[in-house]
Chain A
């Protein structure tokens, strides 16, 4: 296809609108993590290639013995990125609330808009890293009361998803599969139920309620899959950071998000058991078996 033809098709195809989460607006529907990269320059290049304008970071003890260590903040263009602090590593609601407040304190000092929100994770155990639904709900209520815009990491259960939404979560982020597992959307029916519960009016939902599939993405097709199921966006880290070529994978993830967004709205054909020829039968000169 010529460059002009590609441009013409892009012009005919509606642009992907920004995503709104509480009072926040993001241009890209891909949110990426900043952990597990081999080095900061690779992280920075991968974020750039992903097109993300929001990245998530963790809150940890200052390494007091290594004052020469470079800070991740030197490699994040804070004027262009909204930082989303997370509560990764918290196993109780109380700790998640503490970490949220510490993250807000740092981002206020940096003057980054991310001071107003948090990616809430209250984990159940270290081996599955699955969310503790009771602790998550408890922390969500507390943080909403404290003025945070709360994005809740959740399991793919539609009932707890609705409870979190009702507790004031600005977004519910169901896991496609366990964090870092690279298994993609392990239970598409469950993700679909979560999305319908949160977005369909007849189920008490609202079409503009943002649902972001968070965790488990291993490759670009996982993002397409999540978007085809009706997700508004995808959050991932390991799938890019641990790819052999993280920058190239980030680029692929960006394209996958666009592909998934459009395919979800283009109206796919129904699945059929039998074939349906693409070339006409009329005028066939060959012998057709059985006819």
Chain B
């Protein structure tokens, strides 16, 4: 299955959830937030939100800014 992750194509095995993706990226303990198709997926929904072919996923964090 292919999704778009932070603007780049990414191939995933099986039918992972958002929680699976976050774990695969090694970000399960990082301060980050996930959007799928421009909609926020709250952390409590990560384990149940299944990703689908073609999903546009954004994983964001906090950076310095003004």
- Residues of A whose CB lies within 8 Å of any CB of B are 33-37, 43, 56-62, 64, 67, 71-73, 83, 85-86, 88, 98, 101-103, 105-106, 109-110, 179-180, 235-238, 241
Instruction: Determine if B50 is an interface residue (Cβ-Cβ < 8 Å).
Output: no
Q: Mark B7-44, 1 if CB is under 8 A from A, else 0.
A: 10000000000000000011100111101001010110
Chain B's nearest CB lies how many Å from the CB of A216? Answer: 11
Q: Please name 12 pairs of A and B residues whose Cβ atoms are closer than 8 Å in the assembled complex, sorted by A.
A: A33-B64, A35-B66, A56-B65, A57-B62, A61-B60, A64-B25, A72-B63, A88-B66, A101-B40, A102-B35, A105-B43, A237-B65
Contact B58 A61 (CB under 8 A): yes
Instruction: Determine if B59 is an interface residue (Cβ-Cβ < 8 Å).
Output: yes
Instruction: Determine if B6 is an interface residue (Cβ-Cβ < 8 Å).
Output: yes
Instruction: Determine if B5 is an interface residue (Cβ-Cβ < 8 Å).
Output: yes
Contact A88 B38 (CB under 8 A): no
Sorted nearest first, the 9 A-B pairs with minimum C-beta distance are A33-B66, A58-B65, A237-B66, A105-B33, A34-B64, A35-B64, A102-B33, A35-B65, A62-B59
Chain A contact residues, majority secondary structure = mixed
Q: Which residue in chain B gives the minimum CB-CB distance to A98? A: B38
Q: Which residue in chain A gives the minimum CB-CB distance to B43? A: A109
Residues of B within 8 A of A86 (CB): 65-66
- Residues of B whose CB lies within 8 Å of any CB of A are 5-7, 25-27, 30-33, 35, 38, 40, 42-43, 58-66
Chain A's nearest CB lies how many Å from the CB of B7? Answer: 7
Complex CA–CA separation, A67 to B30 (angstroms): 10
Complex CA–CA separation, A67 to B31 (angstroms): 13
Contact B64 A57 (CB under 8 A): yes
Contact B31 A110 (CB under 8 A): yes
Q: Which residue in chain B gives the minimum CB-CB distance to A236? A: B66
Query: Which of the listed residues B5, B31, B64 has the most CB atoms from chain A within 10 Å of its own CB?
Result: B64
Complex CA–CA separation, A241 to B60 (angstroms): 24
Complex CA–CA separation, A98 to B66 (angstroms): 18
Q: Which residue in chain A gives the minimum CB-CB distance to B7? A: A61
Complex CA–CA separation, A281 to B1 (angstroms): 92
Complex CA–CA separation, A78 to B2 (angstroms): 37
Complex CA–CA separation, A71 to B43 (angstroms): 20
Contact A106 B66 (CB under 8 A): no
Complex CA–CA separation, A71 to B6 (angstroms): 18
Residues of A within 8 A of B26 (CB): 67
Contact B31 A73 (CB under 8 A): yes
Complex CA–CA separation, A173 to B7 (angstroms): 32
Query: Which of the listed residues A72, A85, A110 has the most CB atoms from chain B within 10 Å of its own CB?
Result: A72
Chain B's nearest CB lies how many Å from the CB of A89? Answer: 8
Complex CA–CA separation, A61 to B8 (angstroms): 12
Known contacts A98-B38, A98-B40, A101-B40, A106 near B65 by CB under 8 Å: no
Residues of A within 8 A of B33 (CB): 59, 102-103, 105-106, 109
Contact A105 B42 (CB under 8 A): yes
Residues of A within 8 A of B64 (CB): 33-37, 43, 57-58, 72
Chain B's nearest CB lies how many Å from the CB of A287? Answer: 60
Query: Which of the listed residues B5, B26, B42, B60 has the most CB atoms from chain A within 10 Å of its own CB?
Result: B60
Residues of A within 8 A of B62 (CB): 57-60, 71-73, 83, 85, 103, 106
